[in-house]
Chains A and B, each alone.
Chain A
Amino acid sequence: MRAYPYPRLSGRVSLRVTAVELKAPGESREPLDVKAFSAVEQVVALGGTERDDWESARLKLSATVPSKATDPDGPWSDVSVVAVLAEGATNARTVVPLEPSTESGREWTGSMDVWRADHLDRASLNVHVVARTDGVAGRVIATSQKDWIVDLSARAPKRQRELDVVEVSFSKGPQWLQPFKGVPWIVDTSGDVAAVHVNTDFEGLTDLLSGAGSAAEGLVRDLMLAQMRTDVWTAVFHVAIGDLEIEEDGTPLFSHDWRGEVLREMLPDVMPGRPLEEALGEVHRRRAGASGWIDLQPRIHFAATQRAQMPKALSTAIRGLDRLHQGADA
């Protein structure tokens, strides 16, 4: 918990995206299907739209703020509520004021334009309550707890990213894949999102993955997907640690892109019970130093396995095999 030198607003501040409209050049705005955004996941997915030429998206926003904020007897005045959309990878930051829509001052609404050219991958959207207090204007007195995600490429509004699978012939495909032509899949972390390249030269592999086969094949497939996810999480963690920016005094920094996100997500499992910054510093020291890195491998493996839901996939497969045997014995 951090301490603030001024009174903060207690209670819950929440944000909802109530509608999304897309605009293509020279055309009027068109509403996006409601399936493209989810209040449960708190995600807006802009990648599933049929039009690929949209240039901006207008998000209709609604925020709920504790009524204490606008209580005339309260410690705050000049209260404003603003929505902030930010993406580290493009340094984009858009701020729009919301207007009170009810007498009580609890509901605030407004809209925000998201320019496609300003964003790359995933932007986070949250809301802040700002007020004058103790004579100082512009104090942040409350912030929404959970960010919304505006995802430029996702087809469905899910917080958890889907695995990006590319099917390609390793022998005939890009040159860098050619040395790996005997390998069933390779994880590529060089793009915006990690991708798995599946080797179409590997006989039967793509059929197996397409999931059209028997029950037994389905079990193997799910297990393989879990293994791929484990490989991806392991790879992205190593890339993120290997690519750290270091301050002059030796302090490592979280990067602004997915590398930073990966570390924030995995470090609590790799270095449990420590604040994120401290955990990052420790992992960096161990990697850069002569010892301690080997001790971390089981923890990295643990963190990756958890995220890939490998234990679940494996027990489902084992149980499924049992059931198949029972069916065969009967």
Chain B
Amino acid sequence: MIHKPAYVPERLALLSDLNAAQYITDGLLNGKEGVPAIALDKVVEPLPHEGARTASGPLRELVEDAMHEYEGGKPTQADAWLAPRLHATLRLSRREAADRRLWNHLALGIAPDYVVWRHGKRSKVAAGRFRGPADTQAFARLWWMAELFRNGPDYRPVVTACGVQDVPNTLLRLDVIDHRPTALAMVRLMETGAVTTGREVNALGKAVNASAATLMYDVIAPDVERDGLPGQEWIEASESAGPVPRRMLPEGPNEERAPGSSVELLADHFAELFADAPVRGRVADEDGED
């Protein structure tokens, strides 16, 4: 297993896909060789923004704490702990987060040891964990989980969603979760224990997605009007923000929460859909559904 890079740059930066590719070697994917940090630092480009949130130190500490905390257990369990804290440390707009180069740098320049620790326990790490789409890349997927499953400042739904196996792998790539009450209603089913296993999450996602082809959830369960200002203020407040709390959950942008009635309505609807959905390996129960 590789260790902390010999050199960690002070600032986060952008690393293009093209430049990232040459550093994703077999040795790295097998966890045997680190990334040549100094050479890598020569091909990065500066971030378009400045200020406290570009510092790499708080992120480095965060991933080290995650590895320490979950050393004995399963690395997969670190997702639920790290996702909200990563989100609250980076304080990015979606526009910034959509830039894959940022995630490339985080994975190769700042914390390659974390990527190997989290995704390479049993086998070789997939290259997409270092450089890949948002639902696969080791850090991008955590950030987007936090962004899409938080309820305004409240990260608790994120913890629930990350805690259920396969949510990042299946739900994160569905367009339906871009509607906040839909995402939160699915979490509600996980909270109540109606949906617990990876297969069940998969089945729920498929059923909800299929139903969304003809039903407009945005109309039957509206969200509040989008306001970009609280997010901006939250980003500006990063200058004076300390490190994120390790035991308690941090607070996200002070955006208005999704209407509870919309989440309830969809949760009921999804529960019905799920009852009829085929789940691989689920034995038909005595309620006698067809």
Contact = CB atoms under 8 A, between A and B. Distances in A.
Residue from B43, B96, B216 with most neighbouring chain A CB atoms (10 Å): B216
B95 interface: yes
Given A137-B220, A190-B17, A245-B135, A120 B98 contact: yes
Contact of A90 (B16, B98, B214, B219): B98
Nearest to A2: B213
A139 B215 contact: yes
Nearest to B222: A95
A96 B42 CA distance: 46
Contacts of A97: 219
A168 B177 CA distance: 42
Nearest to A94: B226
A115 B226 contact: yes
B173 A118 contact: no
Residue from B136, B147, B226 with most neighbouring chain A CB atoms (10 Å): B226
A82 B218 contact: yes
B197 interface: no
B252 interface: no
Shortest 7 CB-CB distances between A and B: which pairs?
A115-B228, A117-B93, A138-B220, A190-B16, A190-B17, A93-B178, A90-B94
Nearest to A128: B216
Interface in B10-58: 16-19, 42-43
A120 B93 CA distance: 10
A191 B214 contact: no
Contact of B98 (A6, A56, A89, A116): A89
7 contacts: A91-B144, A93-B175, A95-B223, A113-B226, A117-B228, A136-B215, A175-B43
Nearest to A192: B99
Nearest to B39: A175
A138 B232 contact: no
Contacts of B43: 174-176
B70 interface: no
Given A117-B95, A137-B219, A138-B215, 17 more contacts: A82-B216, A90-B95, A91-B177, A93-B178, A117-B94, A117-B228, A118-B95, A118-B228, A119-B95, A120-B94, A138-B216, A140-B215, A188-B16, A188-B18, A189-B18, A245-B135, A253-B173
A125 interface: no
Contacts of B18: 176, 188-190
Given A113-B226, A130-B219, A120 B99 contact: yes
Interface string B179-197: 1000000000000000000
Contacts, number: 111
B110 to A, nearest CB: 19
A252 B215 CA distance: 26
A135 to B, nearest CB: 13
Contacts of B133: 243, 245, 255-256
Interface in B79-133: 93-99, 101, 132-133
Contacts of B226: 94, 113, 115, 118
Interface of B: 16-19, 42-43, 93-99, 101, 132-136, 144, 147-148, 173, 175, 177-179, 214-220, 222-223, 225-226, 228, 231-232
A253 B135 CA distance: 12
A95 B218 contact: yes
A242 to B, nearest CB: 10
A30 interface: no
A314 to B, nearest CB: 30
A88 B42 CA distance: 32
A216 interface: no
Nearest to B133: A245
A92 interface: yes
A6 B214 CA distance: 9
Nearest to A115: B228
Contacts of B134: 256
A278 to B, nearest CB: 18
Interface string A51-90: 0000110000000000000000000000010101010111
A98 B266 CA distance: 23
B94 to A, nearest CB: 4
A255 B172 CA distance: 12
Contacts of B16: 176, 188, 190-191
A84 B175 CA distance: 13
